[in-house]
Chain A
């Protein structure tokens, strides 16, 4: 009820209409909010609708206003082998890296529960992959996977496990592993800090009474900590899934979709067909295949948020 009180006080203090209007919460609120909403509508909402429109035409860079051709682009895309490979790769990269990320992030978050000297520095070094610009840090990996001077090859040679070179980015299977390694490397620190926040927000009394009752480490972990961490773990998984799923930087810097177009993902394929190749409508249509997964992620995040609102 303080709002009513404020309004009356303000109205008495300043009877001029302009000022009264500015002190009305609804009016002022909409006024302050509208620039941001307008901006998002113009530069996120409109481009999104425009993407749908483009995908239904045959527009190219040379002929930016295309004719309406219905769902022909989608038909063409679905029938192309390149697209199906990219779709499969996108899911493989995302799910394999998420599984590894979940395992690594959970162990590391647990290992970082204890305090020790130099923890700040260790944390910084662990977070480097996430906080550094990805297009620049992936260049470091490009050098690590170099065909002749690869760091990994050198170590394997010293251990006597390898002669010559593996040609990481020249072979489809190894190139896919390389891309997954870089995705894991970049994203698991993010999931780790989210899980760390979760660990430190666990109710202390529950943990203490488990300790008093004599529950061992593993029992505490699997029967108390992990179940309580489940909501926050889903937050970590949802966001890092979205970030990995839509990313094209790692693929672009490491392989540009090669060798022989075997490592494309949806977004890199959209870039090479739509921007590099100038086929705007096909590129827009390929990008739109990202949307269902983003929508599902958004709905799940909202449901998580609502569940905590009720309790």
Chain B
């Protein structure tokens, strides 16, 4: 009996410990976002009193910061710019990565595999290595301070990883299906269009979401190429231009940062498993 009771006590302790560990981790990861959200609804007089409990509303909540964000800053313009850049980057990425991935996974044999890894490694080249020469390239193309500069440059980040992801998808489609279509008189390209692409739709959706979130997150190129407020994307506009002359700008700043982060985070979260699979296949586990 004592042994059973001891076992139960141990199990209970383990369970409590398990929950406690998870709670601590969630507190660490989510507190900054929670505080952003609370701050965005707090009155200035509540925010800027160091004796007030910062975690709760000591005065009734207010929408004044949101009114400020939407009426007196170019926030909506930044969101629109982000969407435009994201959509253009999606199109360019698909146009280049889909054929490349098909070619590497189906047509080029062993060399395709090796080249695929090489292209994947391009993803490791960080913007901070290239941003200075890239700024010169952008300005000699006459694109500085336009959204085009970002549209042209961001696919350098999205294409390598997307090609790698799509290679994985193409490999999972049985070759027999294309071969059957080709015996039925389709050309290779016809089989690709009619048989392979429809089956690769989940991969294409992943690439669409991935390209969009990556261009919405990018900061360094946007900071370097774009200087006018009106052509900024949200990831650069908010940290650069949301700061007002006086010091009490935290409400609008937190509101605009939170509102732009969460949709991007949700989208990214949706494709995260496939994104992670891209890394794990590149390294070890197949």
Contacts and interface: CB of A to CB of B under 8 A. Distances in A.
B124 to A, nearest CB: 5
A135 to B, nearest CB: 4
Contacts of A161: none
Interface residues of B, number: 101
Contact of A46 (B99, B137, B152, B284): B137
Interface stretch (A77-85, A172-180, A268-276): A268-276
A290 B128 contact: yes
Contacts of A266: 128
Given A51-B129, A136-B239, A148-B50, A36 B97 contact: yes
Interface of A: 2, 5-6, 9-10, 13-14, 19, 22-23, 25-26, 28-33, 35-37, 39-40, 43-44, 46-48, 50-51, 54, 64, 104, 107-108, 111-112, 114, 122, 124-129, 131-141, 143-144, 146, 148-149, 151, 154, 185, 189, 193-194, 197-198, 201, 231-232, 234-236, 238-239, 242-243, 246-249, 252-253, 266-267, 270-271, 274-275, 280, 283-284, 287-288, 290-291, 294, 297-298, 301-302, 304-305, 307-308
Interface in B161-190: 163, 175, 179, 182-183, 185, 187-189
B26 A125 contact: yes
B69 to A, nearest CB: 13
> Which residue, B108, B126, B135, B179, has most C-beta atoms of chain A within 10 A?
B126
Interface stretch (B57-65, B194-202, B264-272): B264-272
Given A29-B103, A197-B277, A136 B238 contact: yes
Given A36-B100, A44-B130, A201-B285, A140 B33 contact: yes
Given A22-B189, A280-B132, A302 B156 contact: no
Contacts of B136: 50, 54, 64, 280
Contacts of A14: 187
SS class, residues of chain B in contact with chain A: helix
A139 B238 contact: yes
Interface string B29-43: 111110110010000
Contacts of A232: 280, 283-285
